[in-house]
Amino acid sequence: MFSFTVLKKDATTKARLGRLVTAHGVVETPAFMPVGTQGSVKALSPRDLEEIGCQMILANTYHLYLRPGAEVIRELGGLHRFMGWEGSILTDSGGYQVFSLGALRKITEEGVHFRSHLDGSSHLLTPEKVVQIQEDLGSDIAMVLDECIPHPATRDYVGASTGRTVRWAERSLKACKRSDQALFGIIQGGMYEDLRTECVKEMTRLPFDGFAVGGLGVGEEEATLSSIGAFTAGLLPEDRPRYLMGVGRPEDLIFAVRSGYDLFDCVLPTRNARTGTLFTSKGKINIKRAEFTNDPRPADESCSCYCCRHFSRAYLRHLYLAGEILAAQLHTIHNIHFYHRLMEKLRQLIRENRAEETLDIVL
Amino acid sequence: MFSFTVLKKDATTKARLGRLVTAHGVVETPAFMPVGTQGSVKALSPRDLEEIGCQMILANTYHLYLRPGAEVIRELGGLHRFMGWEGSILTDSGGYQVFSLGALRKITEEGVHFRSHLDGSSHLLTPEKVVQIQEDLGSDIAMVLDECIPHPATRDYVGASTGRTVRWAERSLKACKRSDQALFGIIQGGMYEDLRTECVKEMTRLPFDGFAVGGLGVGEEEATLSSIGAFTAGLLPEDRPRYLMGVGRPEDLIFAVRSGYDLFDCVLPTRNARTGTLFTSKGKINIKRAEFTNDPRPADESCSCYCCRHFSRAYLRHLYLAGEILAAQLHTIHNIHFYHRLMEKLRQLIRENRAEETLDIVL
């Protein structure tokens, strides 16, 4: 029920064109996954996503575990059915969210104890429980519980934490029961190349279906993100998908694709949409600006999304300033379409051995 | 560019089946118009409205005049193009909104002086200006400026106000320049049958394309609403459309259709949608209720809207409690679909001379 094939490698860069097959269909890679934190890609309906050509979304285990609860979703036929989405779903492990809770969580070898951000109730997430929750959700790709280490962190802390992440990964594999769900390991190691190398060595001994690189985009310098990101991708096995977690901006995606990554997720296009920032082929625009008051042009003149086919910047600006819900819907359709078009363009360039070329969009 | 034909009258009640043709198409009556206050039916895209089978929406002159301004909309090709809606549009006169401002407005024979609820700026709306604004907006049906009299009001006040509304109506007709826009007069007269009669007499001397009945649903008893509403409908000419403004609940629409009204608008289905109240054939439900936590059924098992075809009550409840925008979208699709289905059902009953029959829905 899960396979990954590298169809083509770019001649100059490390970019690769791939085909990932899950129990819910094909995902052409490199691919961007819109984030559906609580079982909904904010402001989009499943048919909006289908129209955009989205093949896989991400949902957050932490949020769905707390509300409405994994059992509720399992009883209702799993997350796909619950949210009316027929494409593929990757669920994260909840690690990132739990570790973001700061003082509200405590890590032990067993797992992570935390208090809910919703009602303060106490919970324990173990590697086994995280697998169980994701099996209840029925996502196509599950992630192991890891510790997403904040930046900066001492070498000692990163070393100890990464060791635990590897032990948790082993426990996660043992806990797996579903044969229709892939499980990805996560590479940590902070900004230390030797710890990343060590983590890759340990993780790739284990029979994971793919590998994610975590702990980037957490406050480090851009140059570090790029260098550690590219370095780590180069260590990963060729035959399995590589997922760069939580990154990011269009320019980050282009760099990461050239470094050999296949999968991405980020809240940026959806979150920006709701605050009126639109990605366009001529650069980002903020729809609030007075210059758009009378502007009859679509957000992006080269875009074919529903928003750009039907609505002017003037109307979008009006909706935004008037606080209309439709602004969030149309902006999100546009931004997610922009990201998908970017990935499509990158796939085309790889096909033509031109992945190193500068894209004809302003970033 | 405007015509209205009564196709069929019910045998028992005063209900009638009609066909209204505007510059933007056919509207089968009796019809409910969803309210698009600021140039957007809240949470719906134009294609959602088309899918539901909506043929005419209402937009608010007052809101669009203040923001983004009628000139902006005119320059951008009119309201239809601005909001991407190809069906018919009726614009109200702004009277209701202005008179709701209370202390912020002052009425003279010339018109109504008021301060904007947005920025406190001073404005004067005259009957002529209100026609001009609606011609700039380019709606298919425009309404004359009237005073929507609050309830209760003394007979003297209602008499004086209604007289002014008639004089304003005459001035409105003289101000009309567009031949592709219909203009409706508005019947006021409060809860006084003789003043309603007098107003109808004066208004129907004027060559309006249709007549609206205003000042109902403003705080009076239900029985008064019904009796004055039915009484006034009976006074209006057979050959022109009758529009009962701002009413209302499904049961009000059924009563009003049987009284001979053809057009309706109300914020109830859209507003209720956003607070989680869904109309169903088995009565209203509030999706927040704990009983829906695990409920796999659609909001309404007999409904064929996008929401009911794809999503469970459990999912809708989850979206609502999680504060997801998609809740507002799906709930609004459902409620507007419910209202359209109700009108469709009423039209069918009239066709079959069965308009007096009890509908197989719980209200």
pLDDT digits (tens, 9 = 90+) for A91-129: 999 888 888 888 889 999 999 999 998 999 999 999 999
Show the tokens assigned to B273: 């949608």
> Is A321 a member of any domain?
yes
A225 with A121, same domain?
A: yes
B72: nearest CA partner in chain A = A294
Q: Does the distance separating the beta carbons of A47 and B315 come in below 8 Å?
A: no
Q: What is the mean pLDDT of residues A266-281?
A: 98
Taking only the tens place, the pLDDT of each residue in B42-59 is 999 999 999 999 999 999
Give the Å distances, CA to CA, from A189 to A149, A154, A164.
8, 11, 11
Residue B296 phi, psi dihedral angles, 5° rounding = -80, -5
Which CATH number do you get for residue B162? Answer: 3.20.20.105
Q: Does the distance separating the beta carbons of B310 and A84 come in below 8 Å?
A: yes
Give percent of chain A with pLDDT exceeding 90.
91
Measured CA to CA, the distance from residue A352 to residue A268 in angstroms comes to 29
Total count of domains within chain B: 2
CB B237 within 8 A of CB B209: no
- Which residues sit opposite A82 in a β-bridge? none
Contacts of A72 in chain B (CB under 8 A): 293-294, 314, 318
Q: Does the distance separating the beta carbons of A46 and B84 come in below 8 Å?
A: no
pLDDT at position B219 is 83
Q: How many CB atoms lie within 10 A of CB A150?
A: 15
Q: What is the mean pLDDT of residues A59-66?
A: 96
pLDDT at position B42 is 98
Q: Is the pLDDT of residue B363 over 80?
A: no
B179 with B219, same domain?
A: yes
Last residue of a domain, one of A218, A251, A266: A266
> What confidence category does residue B17 fall into, taking pLDDT thresholds of 50, 70 and 90?
very high
pLDDT at position A361 is 84
Q: What is the mean pLDDT of residues B325-347?
A: 98
pLDDT averaged over every residue in chain B: 96
A194 with A320, same domain?
A: no
Q: Which helix (H) or strand (E) holds A210?
A: strand A210-213
CB A58 within 8 A of CB A83: no
CA distance B21 to chain A (A): 24
Of B42, B67, B315, the CB nearest to A321: B67
> Is A69 a member of any domain?
yes
B307: domain range? 268-363
Q: Is the pLDDT of residue B285 over 80?
A: yes
B→A contacts (Cβ < 8 Å), by residue, are 38-40, 42-47, 63, 67-68, 72, 75-77, 82-84, 293-294, 296, 306, 310-312, 314-315, 317-319, 321-322, 324-326, 328-330
> What confidence category does residue A144 fall into, taking pLDDT thresholds of 50, 70 and 90?
very high
Q: Does the distance separating the beta carbons of A322 and B67 come in below 8 Å?
A: yes
Q: Would you call A265 a catalytic residue per the annotation?
A: yes
Contacts of B137 in chain A (CB under 8 A): none
Last residue of a domain, one of B234, B266, B298: B266
Give percent of chain B with pLDDT exceeding 90.
91
B279 with B244, same domain?
A: no
- Nearest residue to A20 via CA among A225, A251, A240, A284: A240
Which residues of B are known to be catalytic?
92, 265
Q: Is the pLDDT of residue A363 over 80?
A: no
B192 with B284, same domain?
A: no
B69 with B189, same domain?
A: yes
**Edge to edge, what strands does the sheet with A141-143 contain?**
A31-33, A263-265, A242-244, A210-213, A182-187, A141-143, A88-91, A56-59
Q: What is the mean pLDDT of residues A8-15?
A: 98
A72: nearest CA partner in chain B = B294
> Is A304 a member of any domain?
yes
B160 with B224, same domain?
A: yes
Of A83, A318, A326, the CB nearest to B68: A318
Measured CA to CA, the distance from residue A4 to residue A21 in angstroms comes to 6
Any idea of the CA torsion for A265, A270, A275, A280, to the nearest 10 degrees?
90
Cis peptide before B217 (omega within 30 of 0): no
> Is A19 a member of any domain?
yes
- Which residues sit opposite A212 in a β-bridge? A186, A243
Q: Give one DSSP letter per residue of A104-160, joined into a string.
A: GEEE-SS-EEEE-TTT--EEEE-HHHHHHHHHHHT-SEEE-------SS--HHHHHH
pLDDT at position B218 is 82
A297: nearest CA partner in chain B = B76
> Is A256 a member of any domain?
yes
pLDDT at position B1 is 80
CA distance B117 to chain A (A): 13
Residue A19 phi, psi dihedral angles, 5° rounding = -135, 115
A→B contacts (Cβ < 8 Å), by residue, are 38-40, 42-47, 63, 67-68, 72, 75-77, 82-84, 293-294, 296, 306, 310-312, 314-315, 317-319, 321-322, 324-326, 328-330
Q: How many CB atoms lie within 10 A of CB A208?
A: 22
Show the tokens assigned to B352: 């079959």
> Is A200 a member of any domain?
yes
Q: What is the mean pLDDT of residues B161-178?
A: 97
pLDDT at position A238 is 98
Of B77, B311, B317, the CB nearest to A84: B311
- Which residues sit opposite B113 in a β-bridge? B106, B124
Q: What is the mean pLDDT of residues B258-269?
A: 98
B363 with B235, same domain?
A: no
Q: Is the pLDDT of residue B149 over 90?
A: no
> What confidence category does residue A336 fall into, taking pLDDT thresholds of 50, 70 and 90?
very high
A224 with A278, same domain?
A: no
Of B76, B306, B315, the CB nearest to A314: B76
> What confidence category does residue A150 fall into, taking pLDDT thresholds of 50, 70 and 90?
confident
Least trusted range by pLDDT, from B7-16, B103-112, B273-282: B103-112
A77 with A195, same domain?
A: yes
Q: What is the mean pLDDT of residues B224-239?
A: 96
Q: Does the distance separating the beta carbons of A311 and B47 come in below 8 Å?
A: no
> Is A358 a member of any domain?
no
Last residue of a domain, one of A266, A291, A313: A266
A83 with A175, same domain?
A: yes
CA distance A178 to chain B (A): 23
Q: Which helix (H) or strand (E) holds A243?
A: strand A242-244
Measured CA to CA, the distance from residue A168 to residue A145 in angstroms comes to 7
CB A39 within 8 A of CB A59: yes
Bigger pLDDT: A357 or B96? Answer: A357
In this complex, how many residue pairs, one in chain A and one in chain B, have their CB atoms less than 8 Å apart?
A: 114
**Complex ipTM more than 0.90, yes or no:** yes
Mutation for testing the A interface, residue in B311, B325, B332, B334 having most A CBs under 10 Å: B325
A190 with A236, same domain?
A: yes
> What confidence category does residue B183 fall into, taking pLDDT thresholds of 50, 70 and 90?
very high
Q: Does the distance separating the beta carbons of B330 and A40 come in below 8 Å?
A: no
Give the Å distances, CA to CA, from A158 to A145, A153, A190, B285.
16, 6, 6, 52
Contacts of B82 in chain A (CB under 8 A): 312, 314-315, 318
Give the Å distances, CA to CA, from A363 to A261, A265, A278, B313.
19, 18, 12, 42
Least trusted range by pLDDT, from A359-363, B93-97, B185-189: A359-363
Contacts of B317 in chain A (CB under 8 A): 68
Contacts of A40 in chain B (CB under 8 A): 319, 322, 324-326
Q: Is the pLDDT of residue B177 over 90?
A: yes
pLDDT at position B198 is 98
> Is A123 a member of any domain?
yes
pLDDT at position A219 is 83
CB B89 within 8 A of CB B57: yes
CA distance B246 to chain A (A): 21
